[in-house]
Amino acid sequence: MITWNNLDKLSSYKELFDVKKVNLQEAMSGENGAERVKNYSTPMAEGLAFNYAARPVDESVLEALKKLAEEAQLAEKFKALYNGEMINTGEKRLVLHHLTRGQLGDTVEADGVDKRAFYVEQQNRIAEFAGKVHSGQITNGAGEKFTTVVQIGIGGSDLGPRAMYLALENWAKKNNAFKMEAKFISNVDPDDAAGVLNTIDVAHSIFILVSKSGTTLETLTNESFVKDALKNAGLDPSKHMIAVTSETSPLAKSDDYLAAFFMDDYIGGRYSSTSAVGGAVLSLAFGPEVFAQFLDGATEEDKLAAEKDVMENPDMLDALIGVYERNVLGYPSTAVLPYSQALSRFPAHLQQLDMESNGKSVNRFGEPVDYVTGPLIFGEPGTNGQHSFYPLLHQGTDIVPLQFVGFRHNQMDTDVVIQGTTSQQKLCANVAAQIMAFACGKSDENRNKNFEGGRPSSIIIGDQLNPRSLGALLAHFENKVMFQGFVWNLNSFDQEGVQLGKVLAKRVLAHETDGALKVYSDLLNI
């Protein structure tokens, strides 16, 4: 039987405080460090590996974390989730994003429908539609092929799909899989929509409106912006727009759209990249075959996440080490540092994924918790970040755990040799050097040049960033967030924190304000 207990009620959590802390400098120095790097690694899907040698753990800490995983019933809770139990207690919903890419357990029925079959049906419908667009069977009003796809959405309807598109754009161009350029409009700031529209040929663009409810104010505002641009160009908007929405929304059966593809309430926006939300734009941009590969990579990682043995489950292991760093060692934030320019927006996606999911101070029953929960997440690609915020990471007063991502080979297969090494080798040299510099530091009599070390990091290493490895990478972090939510006894799948600002904004627009809110409204000329 599954029990949902707060972290501070678990005896294994209390025992963690009695385990001797690891001296990371000593552990990573000399031959000890070499052995750690060889041994402290867990295989992931699609050739990736999670190397945690530079994290502040040893066999004693790992044994204690295994006990925590067992007492917190992490494997059992994940099994309950993918078998269709109501895990989202706040909204009284199932949590089914894993089903968008594969079936790990039992058939899950909801609303009288086999949900895996439903998601596959939407993927097939999208694939058929994308094929007709690419072949010229579906064209603009003048009978000409579409060359650009523009996604209109906000939050999870933008951040995840945008990050995935950018991650695969160069790979697709190199591998003859690039079908259409993709653009994204998310901000209600009119400069966002205008800026995108000024860079495209609207006559040859197809627009995807993403709104589960069909009532999202920012998204519908941007839709109106786009429709005006189409009309001003003498075009019929209904010949240029599709919708990704729920079957019950006003967008589902509207003549304003060429087609509508469906999502449901069982997938939160930040978990929707493998649903129709990501499927439509990625299938149009790269072809449905590439999107299918992306899903395959994700489901292979999900299979590893279902492993009960922590040491064979990289997602759970990463999550537990993160809890140890946050709750026992007291580290307040985590940096995600991909050494791949293609992952330039991946940290931004993880910001929403992690902080919207676990940035909570009440448990899944709405009761306050007496311990810290989700860390602040930030990051930028290396090596540029080294010349930006790394000084604080090396020498600041807070210790910030680091999660590096690196690949042995670049996507474009284009490089240059300077001073005997390629750019890719220089990139990889930088990430290796940074891991050791953070862990071991450098002594200097000049305190300004002194690096204390003891700064923990892990790295996910792969051969190349491609659709399958990207899917595995995404699933890893989704599952890590899920497991940490289980440990902290949070509901990682609702988003009440988004709602208050929306309510107040509507009051401002209706001029139903007083006090400070009215003054702010006046200052902004609303």
For the question of residue 506 being annotated catalytic, the response is no
Parallel, antiparallel, or unpaired: how do β-strands 417-418 and 421-422 relate?
A: antiparallel
394 included as an active-site residue? no
The CA-based diameter of the chain, rounded to the nearest angstrom, is: 73
Q: Is residue 356 among the annotated active site residues?
A: yes
Q: Is 442 helix (H, G, I), strand (E, B) or coil?
A: strand
Tokens of 168: 């695969």
Rounded (5°) CA angle 112-117-118: 70
Query: Residue 370: is it exposed, middle or buried by C-beta count within 10 angstroms (0-12/13-18/19+)?
Result: exposed
Q: What is the DSSP letter of 326?
A: I
**Residue positions counted in the chain:** 526
- From the list 38, 502, 506, 512, the catalytic residue is 502
Residue with tokens 């963690």: 16
Residue 246 φ/ψ, nearest 5 degrees: -85, 160
What's at 207, amino acid-wise?
F
Q: H or E segment at 302?
A: helix 288-305
Yes or no: say if 141 and 236 are a contact pair by the CB < 8 Å rule.
yes
Q: Which residues contact 144 (CB under 8 A, 6 or more apart)?
A: 203, 204
Compute CA distances 242 → 151, 220, 238, 252, 342, whole Å.
Answer: 10, 13, 8, 10, 27
Q: Which of 92, 387, 445, 511 is catalytic?
A: 387
Tell me which of 218, 356, 380, 478 is the catalytic residue. 356
DSSP 362: B
Pick from 488, 482, 356, 466: nearest CA to 104? 482
d(CA 340, CA 16): 35
Residues annotated as catalytic are: 356, 387, 502
